[in-house]
Amino acid sequence: MTEFLLSQQDYITFFYGTALIILSAACFVMRRREGDPLPWSYLGTFALLHGCHEWLEIFAPFLGKSLFLEIFRSSLALTSFFFLFEFGRRGISQDKGKAPGWWLYIPLFFLSALGGLVAGWEGFIDASRYAIGFPGGLLSATVLLLASRRYTALPRPLLFAASLI
């Protein structure tokens, strides 16, 4: 089974990137709803940037080793993590009326930089996944869960399911 999944990695990555692009479109549509306090544009921007990052992962072997391409791909991933974290931070702020300020990014970036000191550029990107992307995902799931409690109609189960994923 492992060999089969590894041989299909490019298809998996393609569909993952496509799902993120579709999520981005849905978030930008949700942003236009009247009276919805969630900062959908941040989640949509995360999905768009991370979807593009995943698609570049597919083309990377064909484009060869390029420092510019590696920095561009990594920058897309890192920037997307910041948007995901910001969706969670602003969503918590709008729901609870209070959330940590922008200063929270300083220790998160410092933790990412420690990964860079230990293992170079790859270490920086990997550490940013854990220091910024993972907490951003947890915050975002919390925001979607809290938002699902405010609705009574169709969006409620959908937001609840999205918070679990």
Name the token pair of 62: 């064909």
Return the percent helix, strand and coil in the chain, to nearest 5: 85, 0, 15
Is 29:36 a contact under the CB 8 Å cutoff?
no
Helices 67-96 and 134-150 meet at what angle, rounded to 10? 40
What pLDDT sits at residue 161? 73
pLDDT grade, residue 45 (50/70/90)?
very high
Least Cα distance to 37 among 82, 95, 123, 80 occurs for 95
Nearest-angstrom CA–CA distance, 77 and 126: 10
Angle at 140 between CA 136 and CA 143, to 5 degrees: 140
pTM of the model: 0.87
Residue 154, pLDDT > 70, answer: no
Locate all alpha helices (DSSP H) within 31-133, ordered by sequence.
Answer: 40-63, 67-96, 105-128
Residue 115, pLDDT > 70, answer: yes
